[in-house]
Amino acid sequence: MASKEAKGSEGILGLSEITENKSIWRMLLAEFLGTFLLVCVGCGSIVLGEFSVVRIGLTFGITVATLAQSIGHVSGCHINPAVTLSLFVTGDIKLLRALLFVAVQMIGAIGGAGVLRLIVPENKEGGLGITNLGNDLTDVQGFLMEIVLTFVLVFIVHSVCDPRRKDIKGSAPLAIGLAVTACHLSGIPYSGSSINPARSFGPAVIMDLWENHWVYWAGPLLGGVLAGLIYKYLFKVTKSEAESYDF
């Protein structure tokens, strides 16, 4: 009985992923650094100069793509609690690793926003790139938009990272970066296109601005979970399909 309980706990918690994985600290450092750079560079495109949806969208998309190319082999380059939660509910990672990833993502986001505030002149910092709703949008409308946008991003993450797919000849990081760009080009006028609770959390902490902040947790997390479950149960390549078809 005790061994079964231990096995069940290991299955849920994934203790061995932490205690027996010598690379866990490299993985946590990668998640911290990736989120730090995402917030510092991405939000940096918002603060100074004329507001441009195209510049912001390209900055976030290119940053995510290059980070995924750089640290994807270390931690998977989640740099986003919505991605981490989605991979947890689909069984791709265990609970303890998911919790540690989210924790360092939060710390990295705060650090990135903090450094950006040190760089930006005080009279120009504004909200430091914080996300908020567009004109005349309600918080519920923003919440729905964040669900849709994050669904797009996380669905693509699951799709291009499906280990049984043989048809992908291009770059997975590029596809994910383009998804981020598309979401920003569409969603910035509506909800600011957070699609990442950490990205919104960092500037909110540094500037102590929390208006409609729940939208940027509830929307992305729900969108990420829905995307993961729908891909896993409806679209993920099964073992028999991988053996039967030439993708």
Q: What integer best gives the mean pLDDT of the chain?
A: 92
CA distance 107 to 35: 9
* Position 243 confidence tier, pLDDT thresholds 50, 70, 90: low
| Per-residue pLDDT, 152 | 98
Predicted confidence (pLDDT) per residue in 192-201, tens digit: 999 999 999 9
In the chain, the domains with their CATH numbers are 24-237 (1.20.1080.10)
- List the single range of 12-21, 62-71, 165-174, 218-227 with lowest mean pLDDT: 12-21
CA distance 79 to 75: 9
| Per-residue pLDDT, 9 | 52
Greater model confidence, 242 or 181: 181
Predicted confidence (pLDDT) per residue in 74-113, tens digit: 999 999 999 999 999 999 999 999 999 999 999 999 999 9
CA distance 5 to 66: 42
- pLDDT of 45 > 90? The answer is yes
The answer to whether 203 and 209 are in contact (CB under 8 A) is yes
Give the CA distances from residue 174 to residues 64, 73, 119, 164, 178, in Å, rounded to whole numbers and listed in that order.
9, 15, 29, 19, 6
Q: Which residues contact 203 (CB under 8 A, 6 or more apart)?
A: 39, 43, 113, 127, 128, 129, 130, 131, 209
Q: Which residues contact 3 (CB under 8 A, 6 or more apart)?
A: none
Q: Which residues contact 14 (CB under 8 A, 6 or more apart)?
A: 93, 94, 95, 96, 97
- pLDDT of 2 > 50? The answer is no
Question: Quick one: 206 exposed, middle or buried, by C-beta within 10 A (0-12, 13-18, 19+)?
Answer: buried
DSSP state of 103: H
Place of tokens 């990736």: 34
* Position 10 confidence tier, pLDDT thresholds 50, 70, 90: low
Greater model confidence, 15 or 42: 42
- 153-176 burial, b at 16+ Cβ within 10 Å, e below that, comes to bbbbbbbbbbeeeeeeeeebbbbb
